[in-house]
């Protein structure tokens, strides 16, 4: 399989038969059309477009127009996208926490978030893949009270424990490493890998702060995870 970083929290996962596009926000420049649109043009493949929640940096309504050109698309969205009236009932399959979507090609189970929406556990071709959406230990250590930090951490660790019951080992994890959290910005990612093994770890939700995201590499390697050190939009690895 091939993983391509698009931007922020958007990735494309490719197999020989399908493409999975998660949390499209902005395309990564590549020739004239961009990485995502070039992948869409491979219309012999079935395309799954997933969105974890309605925040503008995770969901772009532009994606709904793709079906006009590429009819072999299946949309799987968090239900808050429908509730916010950013899409219509017949546009997508809508999921809440612990809902399952399954067809002959893949299985998607929705897990929780510590913001809005959901996270996705995807099973395809014998691999388990996790995209966290906005699931993280959003603790804001430098600004919050000890009580607020404790509450945020408990909320996060409870969600993490629930995920670990279904997936204590992942072939690929895409997880926030966002330096805007301040001095302890890697804490949620560390706790994630302390709880759940991941063969490959891809940082996300870092905007253009590549160096800050890649600083997590040493910890990931201590946990025997191959780290996807992202240096530019459109970068890919096989896994």
The arithmetic mean of pLDDT across residues 108-117, rounded, is 97
Q: Which helix (H) or strand (E) holds 188?
A: helix 187-195
Task: Tell me the C-alpha distance between 161 and 33, whole Å.
Answer: 41
149 or 117, greater pLDDT:
117
R_g (Cα) of the chain, nearest Å: 17
Residue with tokens 């940096």: 57
Q: What is the pLDDT of residues 17-27, one digit of tens each?
A: 999 999 999 88
Tokens of 31: 């020739």
Is pLDDT above 60 for 31?
Answer: no
Closest Cα to residue 191, out of 169, 219, 165?
219
Q: What is the mean pLDDT of the chain?
A: 94
The reported pLDDT for the residue numbered 39 is: 74
Average pLDDT of span 49-63: 97
DSSP 8-state assignment for residue 69: H
Q: Identify the sign of the CA torsion 54, 183, 157, 125.
A: positive
pLDDT of 58-106, one tens digit each?
Answer: 999 999 999 998 889 999 999 999 999 999 999 999 999 999 999 999 9
Q: Quote the pLDDT of residue 194.
A: 98
d(CA 138, CA 151): 10
Which pLDDT belongs to residue 43?
61
- pTM of the predicted structure, to 2 decimals: 0.94
Give residue 21's pLDDT.
97
H or E stretch at 195: helix 187-195
Q: Domains in the chain and their CATH numbers? A: 2-238 (3.60.15.10)
Q: What is the mean pLDDT of residues 218-230?
A: 98
Structure token pair of residue 178: 């966002």
């Amino acid at each position: 399989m091939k993983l391509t970083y698009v931007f922020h929290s958007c990735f494309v996962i490719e197999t020989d038969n399908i493409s999975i596009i998660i949390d499209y926000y902005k395309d990564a420049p590549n020739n004239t059309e961009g990485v995502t649109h070039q992948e869409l043009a491979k219309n012999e493949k079935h395309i799954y477009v997933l969105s974890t929640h309605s925040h503008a940096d995770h969901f772009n309504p532009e994606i709904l127009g793709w079906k006009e050109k590429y009819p072999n698309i299946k949309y799987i969205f968090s239900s808050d996208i429908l509730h916010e009236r950013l899409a219509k009932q017949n546009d997508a399959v809508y999921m809440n926490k612990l809902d399952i979507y399954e067809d002959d090609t893949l299985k998607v189970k929705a897990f929780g978030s510590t913001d809005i929406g959901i996270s996705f556990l995807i099973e395809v071709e014998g691999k388990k893949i996790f995209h966290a959406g906005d699931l993280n230990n959003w603790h804001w250590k430098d600004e919050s009270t000890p009580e607020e930090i404790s509450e945020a951490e408990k909320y996060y660790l409870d969600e993490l424990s629930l995920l670990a019951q279904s997936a204590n080992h992942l072939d690929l994890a895409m997880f926030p490493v966002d330096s805007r959290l301040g001095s302890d910005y890697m804490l949620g990612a560390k706790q994630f890998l302390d709880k759940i093994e991941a063969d490959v770890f891809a940082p996300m939700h870092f905007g253009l702060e590549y160096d800050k995201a890649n600083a997590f590499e040493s910890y990931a390697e201590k946990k025997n995870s191959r780290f996807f050190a992202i240096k530019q939009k459109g970068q890919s690895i096989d896994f």
